[in-house]
Amino acid sequence: MARRQGTTRVPVALPQMETAPELWLRNIRLSGFAFTVLGLIVLAVVVLAPSLRILVEQQQQIAELRAAVEEKKNSVDDLKDDVTRWDDPAYIESQARDRLNYVFPRDYTYLIIDDGAVVSADDGAPISAEIQETQVDWTRSLISSLFTAGLTDATADELASPTFGDK
């Protein structure tokens, strides 16, 4: 066996270890078919995105309308309950007594005028129990108000009384 002459040993640098993503990216091979499929996917997303947005908006509107219908059904049920209450003579009697102050013949009603509460005007002054004479002729004021309301072109805000306009 012949011995090799003049060979020297040269240190060789080993390649650095690549990370998994680098290896994955290095192994990707894209062909024309892959680019075509990728282009079709992008085109489908661009074309379908507005339609999907409209679909989501319509689903939200449908949900809101269903909630409104459910609320109206509950309102109708409440009104039906009110109608059935008015079929009861005892309920009609109690409503007539409470709202209209009706009584049966030979019944006594009591109207409590002074229940101990101190009544005062809006400005805090106590209300007088004595009858007072007004300083204004109310008949002339009434007739003047009727003619003013019937013959003027002013708006309701312009005609409002300064003391009672805000109430």
54-98 per-position pLDDT tens digit: 999 999 999 999 999 999 999 999 999 999 999 999 999 988 888
Any domain includes 104: yes
What average pLDDT is seen over the chain?
A: 81
The DSSP H or E segment spanning 21 is helix 20-26
pTM tops 0.85, yes or no: no
Any domain includes 121: no
- Domain extent for 45: 34-114
What does the pLDDT average to over 13-30?
74
Residue 167 has pLDDT above 50, yes or no: no
Q: Which 3 state secondary structure label does DSSP give 126?
A: strand
Any domain includes 158: no
Any domain includes 3: no
Any domain includes 86: yes
pLDDT at 2: 60
Residue 144, number of CB atoms within 10 A of its CB: 11
Query: Which tokens hold the place of 80?
Result: 């039906």
Any domain includes 59: yes
Per residue in 39-50, pLDDT tens? 999 999 888 888
